[in-house]
Amino acid sequence: MKMKNILNISMAIVFLCGLLLAGCEKFLDKQPISQLSRDLFWKTPKDADIWIAGMYDGMQKTLGNNFYIWGEVRGDNEQLCGTGTGQLNFLSNTLNSSMGEVNWSNLYRTISSANFAIKYIPTIPGVAAPQIASQLGQAYAMRALMYFYAVRVWGPVPLITEPYEGLDGQEKIYNRSDVTKVKAQILSDIDNALKNFDGTLPSIFKLNTASTLALQTDVAMWFKDYQNAISSSDKLLALNKFSLVTNQTDWKKQFTDPATSTEAILNLYWDYLADGGGNGVATFYGSGSNTNQYKLRQPLWDTLVTRATDARWWNMNDTLELYWLGSKAKVTYESYNLQANSMKSCKFSVWDPAKLNATYKYLGGYNYPNNIECQVYIPIYRLSDIMLLRAEAFNKLGRAPEAMDIVNTIRKRVGYMKTVSALNTVGVSKLEDAILMERQLELWGEGKRWFDLVRTDKVITFMDPILKERGILTGFGDVRKILFPIHSSVFEANPLIKQNEPYTQN
Amino acid sequence: MKYRLFRRQIIPLFVMAVVLFAFNVQAQVISIRGKVVGTDNSPLPGVSVVVKGTTTGITTDMDGIFTLKIPSNSTMLLFSFMGMQSQEVPIAGKTTFNITMMEETVGLDEVVVVGYGTQKKRDITGAITSIDNKMIEKRQAVNVYDVLQGEAPGVLVVSNSGAPGDDNTIRIRGTSTFEGGVNPLYVVDGVPLSDISSINPNDIKSMEILKDAASAAIYGSRSANGVIIITTKTGEEGKAKVDVRYLQSYNMLSRKIPQANAFERKLFENRTKLDLYTNANDSLGLSTNASNDYQDVITQIGKRKQLDLSVSGGSDKLKYFTSLGYLDETGIVLNSYNKRLSGRINSDFQATNKLKFTSRVTYSYQNTNKINEGKVIQQAMQRPPQFILFYPDGSYAFDIGGRKNPIAEAYYRENDYKIFSVGIYQMAEYKINKYLKIQADVNGNFMLSRRNYFNSALLTTTTPQIADGGDETDFGKNLAGEAYASYNRTFKKVHQLSAVAGTIFEDWYDESMNFKGSNFVTENVTTINSIQALDLAGTSTSGTAHSMVGFFGRLSYSYKGKYLFNSNIRRDGSSRFVNQRWGTFPSASIGWRISDEKFMNWSKKYLKDAKLRASWGITGNQNIGNYESLNLYTFGSYYYQGISGINTSTSFGNPDLKWEQTTQTNFGADLTFLDGRLTLNGDYYIKTTDGLLYNSLMPSELGYSTVKVNFGSIENKGYEINLSGTPIQKKDFIWQTSINFSVNRNKILSLAGGDYVSNSAWLVATGQPIGQFYGYKALGVYQYDESNAYTSDYTQRLIPYFQRDPQGNVIIQENGRPVLQGYKYQDGRDFAWNATSNPVYQLKVGAAPFVGGDMIWENVDHNDVIDDKDRSVLGKGLPSWFGGWNNNISYKRFTLSFSFYVNWGNQIYNNAKYVLTTYSTSNVTPQPYEIYNAWRFQGQITDVPNAQKGTVQNTSRELSSEFLEDGSFIRLRNLRFSYQLDNAIAKKLFVQGVTAYLYGNNLFTWTNYTGFDPELGGGNVLNPGKDSGSYPRKRELGFGINLNF
């Protein structure tokens, strides 16, 4: 009787447990609440828009500081200004693999975003191709732009064109691909982007036909394919949407209000509140909260001063106090250096006529944002950039007059009337130097100069003496140091990848 | 069957009906009398004598005598007295009673709470430590953690700082996991909880710490770090008992750190020169002519007031305990406080003979202001003492040269937390028969936490000054339901069998809402409606959920209490895992009461009881994020042009994640000597954790940064000894004492992704323990520039010698340099120096050689540079052993209790001191010793390197052995002196009992450590022993009174 009792109860418990177990799996299936599982996404064209916004956020994180670190600081544009020591690594050509600036994780995260977009946007159900073509085009163009930065910075890089989703058999570690393979991918992505774009140019803050053509020109120049550079830029000009500015006020506006400028092709949008802080422009050139880290190198300053009428001088450099001190001191680099606000560049800063200078008691001054509030729309491509690339290509192809014409136009619009003529620029090389100089002055602070030096094989020529001047006895040293090191964290997770010689892995 | 039912239910009902009837008709009354004495035959006053099942009762007088009129049909008398074993005495017609009451022994028949049931302490086969309410009372504890420190072997308890309301770090038997989930599981009255800081320690009846796998495994998946079971008080049968406790204490900074005064600061400012101090500052300058003692300025006498009130009592049907506690603490640093109101209602209702309902309701409200340690305490340590704090008009000097005014920071930086929590528990128990009962309960815990922070514009240095602030709300709930059956039976009087089987369902939901903004309309309104710019990146809401299901069972068998066997099994499923959702956690333990064997008869005289134990089991850990097995798309931080974009989560979801498993083997012995006067408990354990839940790096090329994996293994081995006894037991004088001692050794067996240095100071490496400091060993200071001289293989440092005058003084030339004559080996032999053919070699930092005044770093790899590869293990952040010594001495009505806590053999990284000596930030002031002794000229013999700015690589690296200090300490943790008023006198005051006491906490600490306090908690599991200058601990002196009505 008792045993039976126990048995009955046991049976009941077993039965109950059985029921419970069946219910358990359902009970234990907890879906995320404020995040999204993948199978609920990619349902409407709006999903594509939102995804693309996330991809541009990746571009912000990739280029917000690195547009400058990768593209300019190692060149001959700047010298040390602040009190920090991090800058010295760039200025004395002693890069190492633990510097955060050489970490490619943000770049590849942006590529991953593009890869997801390219794979999944076409699968959005019930949508006609034209509805999603623009988003798809932006994904291709973004992937091309990111890989283009990657090859310029690290040379051969892993070429990944599909999103990683942990699928069965999906490759998890990639080796580095030859630059030629990456180049082929960049070119085919550009072609795909152009096929998808319908030729309208809705915004300078997003990739479109024009910015993709600008990218195509830049890529062609990097790989010394001058003919294609000219044909790509021809197509860009044929859009008839851009023209060079005609006066210094409009020149300045390209940096303070690019959306209204006729020269702006692609700018990086920024909103410090939404993006969780400012981009690097203030930190590097002109900050309201700290000493800026870099300042214009003296030869450039001297060139601008010698030109006297070149409006880029005072539109790039805060010469206000210099003018104020004018009665006391000569207009020299040294007197500029004495300024209270330690040589800020005002290229990206807005003039505020009501601002009071407390020391000298006059009205009017530039508003420099605090580092964390800097929301400059960093220019990625401008018409003058493409025009000067075009000039370079003309020069290389022996079409010097066309090249000189471009350089002169660029100069005249900012008030410098002296023309480049065949007389003082005999030969391809001289004219090339003149074009490069014009690019240097025009594009200072826009992340272009170092790439210019690398592209035209002039790193050693230009940088060796400068580094010696900075006290590095060996000068530039190993020519392989033109490439950046790969960040040490990469080797921890991916044993296939080897460091760029002569850098060390950790 | 029917008859049985009748016998079991109808008869008691009938009896009860008769009793009730008897009351109603005022049955005949008889008079009884008697005397109650203790074991020493002395009369016991104040003993409660109650007719069982009624409220009729009285207490004994001064001579232990009572007289009472009772209904003639009464059957049973109940005698109870605090600290004595209660007795039930059948009346059976007697009218005089002579009762001897026995003291409640800390003894063998005590019952301890184990998972889903109780066990006789005598028959325990696992490693369990029990703490009862008497121990708790002695501690004047603010929270449960205060009770645990030094009380239980194997349990390391450290409060994170001295801030009121701050958290604690608690480790049972070492660190057995890498990321989160190192805290034990708390089970409060049957409810698993992760946080118990809101529980009033005065409500606790007992705590059981389950340390080995065999005891803990019934809690399966979350028990790998041990389980602490807390049982709260319940009412006792009899008249309502009212307890009132009040205490008040005064707290002060327990120790001051040496800090530079204005004169020393000026010496420091002159550090680069040898000549007299010349300061460009105006000697009448306003802002630089103070001499502040910042530690005095930012601290105050903190006060703690605590009032607890409880009412308990009941009948045989309904027992209740209800309490209300209020705590008001002000910290020893300005404007820090913690207030807590907590309440509890416990009721146990016997509905029928078979059916019992148990309810527990708790609620608490806590309000804390946590001051910003970095801005208040650390700034106070750094700020030059001559900077003024106030302008002559009384307004604050907020920021001078980048250093903050710590007083202003304490008052103008608001960081207010309000936490409400409620817990509800309802249980029904049904006895099917004498042996079998079923219990089922549902419970819910709800928490609402609000944080408001506001940083006044006055504190900022931007132009224009902008205030910022935020508002954060967290809401959490967890609901659980469980049901289990337990069976208990003794066969043939010798085979005792018990079994438990059951299931539990638990469900958690948490959500949070954060708002952040700046530019307040007015600082008089600091709520979020006052902001003019919303910070999108700091504004978000989120919700997460997870659930667990468990099935568990236990089987225990005991033969005559001599051979004991226990086995638990648990199967758990967690929503946090996908492909390997379920885990099984078995355990078994055996016990052998060797003292009951015949061959041990010889020892009976001394050894009252001896038991050997062994146990083995597997426990689990699943304390990771709720969705780490899933691949998610996230948003909220990917804005572009006003659109909130979406992207994959940065961590890749690993669907193959599974339970982290800890296998633990335990051997133990429980010995009782000399009739219970001395007990010894010892345990040895080996604990191995496999499949560590661990964040592994993803190749960043794939667009993700990390992935959670199960990889790696850690081993913890150790032993624990607890010795307690009563060395003196006389009529009026009793001394009870106990000592416990714990040792834990920890070793990483394997790692995902190889060895690494965590946060640039701790080595994480296979074959090595967790928490070892790793860095550069400082061997001294280069006396001269020329002292940086080595043999070509860099194995020996050479000693330069210089031209001297006839008096033997080194001749210093006009350029400040001595004239080098040659080098000697360390042992005094001459080195055949020749600048060209046999030169000396110099150590470098980067490309530059070290010079006089630089630190001599150990050159581990014997090459020419000091770099990453020259780091070595410098010490350990975890103690070699720790222990406690607790004492209770009573003489007549006086009791003195005190306890010591010892923590031995670890080092502390004095990071607070390190930041003062990097000299990289302007206006940071080092300590006086560094100021006086910093190297300044060629030839100076000192142990402090030069104090130049920007020479961190030369003089003060992170981590350098220079900043590692011995962290051992002995602390007189608490001392309490109490007096219990004579009950007879108390009675005249209409009170049953009065106890008054004086106490002190943290009175003395013996240590070589130079920071505020060597007790350090908090921080990452892998990074123990770093003192960043957190809120200093207090010395507490107080008094209190307990009243029983």
Q: CB–CB of A32 and B627 under 8 A? A: yes
Q: CB–CB of B703 and A163 under 8 A? A: yes
Query: Contact B218/B1010 with Cβ under 8 angstroms?
Result: no
Instruction: Kindly state whether A259 is in contact with chain B, defined as any CB-CB distance less than 8 angstroms.
Output: no
Give the closest residue to A63 by CA, choosing from A207, A181, A194.
A207
User: How far apart, in whole angstroms, are the C-alpha atoms of residue B746 and residue A424?
Assistant: 77
pLDDT at B703 over 70: yes
Residue % of chain B over a pLDDT of 70: 95
To test the contact with chain B by mutation, choose from A57, A94, A291 the residue with the greatest count of B C-beta atoms within 10 A, namely A57
User: How far apart, in whole angstroms, are the C-alpha atoms of residue A275 and residue B329?
Assistant: 41
Instruction: Give the mean pLDDT of chain B.
Output: 86
Split at pLDDT 50, 70, 90, the class of B18 is: very low
Instruction: Kindly state whether B580 is in contact with chain A, defined as any CB-CB distance less than 8 angstroms.
Output: no
Residue A84 is predicted with a pLDDT of: 66
pLDDT at A312 over 70: yes
Give the closest residue to B36 by CA, choosing from B93, B90, B101.
B101
To test the contact with chain A by mutation, choose from B646, B656, B659, B706 the residue with the greatest count of A C-beta atoms within 10 A, namely B646
Chain B residues touching residue A205 (CB < 8 angstroms): 640-641
Partner B, chain A 456-485, Cβ-Cβ below 8 Å: none
**Dihedral sign of CA atoms B204, B206, B211, B212 in order:** negative
Partner A, chain B 453-472, Cβ-Cβ below 8 Å: 462-463
User: How far apart, in whole angstroms, are the C-alpha atoms of residue A396 and residue A225?
Assistant: 10
In angstroms, what CA-CA distances link B901 with A348, B1001, B1002? 63, 12, 10
User: How far apart, in whole angstroms, are the C-alpha atoms of residue A368 and residue B538?
Assistant: 24
Q: What is the DSSP letter of A370?
A: P
Chain A residues touching residue B513 (CB < 8 angstroms): none
Split at pLDDT 50, 70, 90, the class of A19 is: low
Q: What is the DSSP letter of B1032?
A: P
Instruction: Kindly state whether B542 is in contact with chain A, defined as any CB-CB distance less than 8 angstroms.
Output: yes
pLDDT at B626 over 70: yes
Residue A1 is predicted with a pLDDT of: 45
Rg, Å, chain A Cα set: 27
User: How far apart, in whole angstroms, are the C-alpha atoms of residue B919 and residue B912?
Assistant: 13
Strand partners, B396: B390
Least CB–CB distance from A111: residue in B650, B703, B704: B703
In angstroms, what CA-CA distances link A87 with A99, A238, B55, B387, B861? 11, 42, 84, 32, 29
Residues A164-191 have a mean pLDDT of 93
CA angle B809, B810, B816 (to 5 degrees): 130
**Dihedral sign of CA atoms B2, B8, B13, B14 in order:** positive
Partner B, chain A 151-180, Cβ-Cβ below 8 Å: 158, 160, 163-166, 172-174
Q: CB–CB of B545 and A33 under 8 A? A: yes
Q: Which two tokens stand for residue B279?
A: 């300061």
User: How far apart, in whole angstroms, are the C-alpha atoms of residue A235 and residue A102?
Assistant: 34
To test the contact with chain A by mutation, choose from B532, B700, B764, B952 the residue with the greatest count of A C-beta atoms within 10 A, namely B700
Q: Which two tokens stand for residue B107?
A: 């003894």
Q: Which two tokens stand for residue A205?
A: 């803050």
Split at pLDDT 50, 70, 90, the class of B907 is: very high
Least CB–CB distance from A493: residue in B631, B698, B703: B698
Least CB–CB distance from A54: residue in B462, B503, B647: B647
Burial class (CB in 10 A: 0-12, 13-18, 19+), B387: buried
Residue B19 is predicted with a pLDDT of: 41
Chain A residues touching residue B630 (CB < 8 angstroms): 32, 37
Question: Shortest Cα distance from A406 to chain B (angstroms)?
Answer: 34
Tell me phi and psi for residue B782, to 5 degrees: -60, 125
Residue of A nearest to B541 (CA): A34
Write the DSSP assignment of A324-350 as a string of letters: HHTTTS-SSHHHHHT-TT-S-B-TT-E
Least CB–CB distance from B637: residue in A20, A41, A276: A276
Residue of B nearest to A164 (CA): B702
Residue B918 is predicted with a pLDDT of: 85
Distance of CA B65 to the CA centre of its chain: 47
Least CB–CB distance from B547: residue in A28, A53, A115: A28
Highest mean pLDDT among B93-107, B263-277, B732-746: B732-746
Contacts of B295 (CB under 8 A, 6+ apart): B253, B256, B257, B259, B380
pLDDT at A50 over 60: yes
Query: Which segment of B69-73, B331-335, B487-491, B924-928 scores lowest on mean pLDDT?
Result: B69-73
Partner A, chain B 750-809, Cβ-Cβ below 8 Å: 753-754
pLDDT at A345 over 70: yes
ipTM value: 0.91
Q: Where are the alpha helices (DSSP H) in A309-457?
A: 312-316, 320-325, 333-337, 383-396, 400-412, 427-442, 449-455
Give the closest residue to B882 by CA, choosing from B974, B973, B747.
B973
Chain B residues touching residue A80 (CB < 8 angstroms): none
Split at pLDDT 50, 70, 90, the class of B122 is: confident
To test the contact with chain B by mutation, choose from A30, A120, A175 the residue with the greatest count of B C-beta atoms within 10 A, namely A30
User: How far apart, in whole angstroms, are the C-alpha atoms of residue B342 and residue B359?
Assistant: 17
Instruction: Kindly state whether A58 is in contact with chain B, defined as any CB-CB distance less than 8 angstroms.
Output: yes
Chain B residues touching residue A38 (CB < 8 angstroms): 631-633
User: How far apart, in whole angstroms, are the C-alpha atoms of residue A457 and residue A475?
Assistant: 16
Highest mean pLDDT among B226-240, B508-522, B808-822: B508-522
Give the closest residue to B332 by CA, choosing from B233, B409, B253, B441.
B253
Q: CB–CB of B544 and A33 under 8 A? A: yes
Instruction: Kindly state whether B539 is in contact with chain A, defined as any CB-CB distance less than 8 angstroms.
Output: no
Exposure class string for A356-389: b at 16+ Cβ within 10 A, else e: eeeeeeeeebbebbbbebbbbbbbbbbbbbbbbb
Residue B5 is predicted with a pLDDT of: 43
Residue A452 is predicted with a pLDDT of: 96
Partner B, chain A 277-336, Cβ-Cβ below 8 Å: 277, 288-289
E-assigned strands of A147-259?
157-158, 176-177
Residue B197 is predicted with a pLDDT of: 78
Residue of B nearest to A150 (CA): B701
Helix (H) or strand (E) holding A10: helix A2-27
Pairing type for strands B848-849 and B907-909 reads unpaired
Split at pLDDT 50, 70, 90, the class of B2 is: very low
User: How far apart, in whole angstroms, are the C-alpha atoms of residue B267 and residue B930?
Assistant: 11
Q: What is the pLDDT of residues B269-296, one digit of tens each?
A: 888 777 776 666 666 677 778 889 999 9
Residue B1 is predicted with a pLDDT of: 41
Residues B920-947 have a mean pLDDT of 89
Chain B residues touching residue A109 (CB < 8 angstroms): 647, 650, 700, 703-704
Rg, Å, chain B Cα set: 34
Burial class (CB in 10 A: 0-12, 13-18, 19+), B474: middle
Contacts of B493 (CB under 8 A, 6+ apart): none
Distance of CA B304 to the CA centre of its chain: 20
User: How far apart, in whole angstroms, are the C-alpha atoms of residue A341 and residue A327?
Assistant: 19
Residue of B nearest to A117 (CA): B647
In angstroms, what CA-CA distances link B633 with A180, B622, B649, B838? 34, 23, 6, 67
Residue B32 is predicted with a pLDDT of: 86
Distance of CA A447 to the CA centre of its chain: 7
Residues B811-819 have a mean pLDDT of 86
Q: What is the DSSP letter of A260?
A: G
Query: Contact B848/B854 with Cβ under 8 angstroms?
Result: no
Least CB–CB distance from B535: residue in A6, A273, A489: A273
Tell me phi and psi for residue A217, to 5 degrees: -65, -45
Question: Shortest Cα distance from A16 to chain B (angstroms)?
Answer: 10
pLDDT at B441 over 60: yes
State the residue for tokens 């051969």: A156
Give the closest residue to B124 by CA, choosing from B192, B184, B214.
B214
pLDDT at B138 over 80: no
Q: What is the DSSP letter of A122?
A: G
pLDDT at A243 over 90: yes
Partner A, chain B 511-530, Cβ-Cβ below 8 Å: 511
B818: left (phi over 0), alpha (psi -120 to 50) or beta: beta
Q: CB–CB of A113 and B703 under 8 A? A: yes
Residues A275-284 have a mean pLDDT of 90
Chain A residues touching residue B868 (CB < 8 angstroms): 506
pLDDT at A506 over 80: no
Instruction: Kindly state whether B534 is in contact with chain A, defined as any CB-CB distance less than 8 angstroms.
Output: yes
Exposure class string for B563-573: b at 16+ Cβ within 10 A, else e: ebebbbbbbbb
Residues B829-855 have a mean pLDDT of 87
The helix/strand count (H/E) of chain A reads as: 20, 9
Residues B948-973 have a mean pLDDT of 88
Chain A residues touching residue B457 (CB < 8 angstroms): none
Q: CB–CB of A53 and B655 under 8 A? A: no
Least CB–CB distance from A50: residue in B436, B643, B653: B643
pLDDT at A211 over 60: yes
Tell me phi and psi for residue A473, to 5 degrees: -60, -35
Question: Shortest Cα distance from B573 to chain A (angstroms)?
Answer: 7
pLDDT at B547 over 70: yes
Write the DSSP assignment of B406-450 as a string of letters: HHHHHHHEEEEEEEEEEEEEEEEEEE-SSSEEEEEEEEEEEEEEE
Tell me phi and psi for residue A409, to 5 degrees: -60, -45
E-assigned strands of B535-631?
540-559, 563-574, 582-592, 607-621
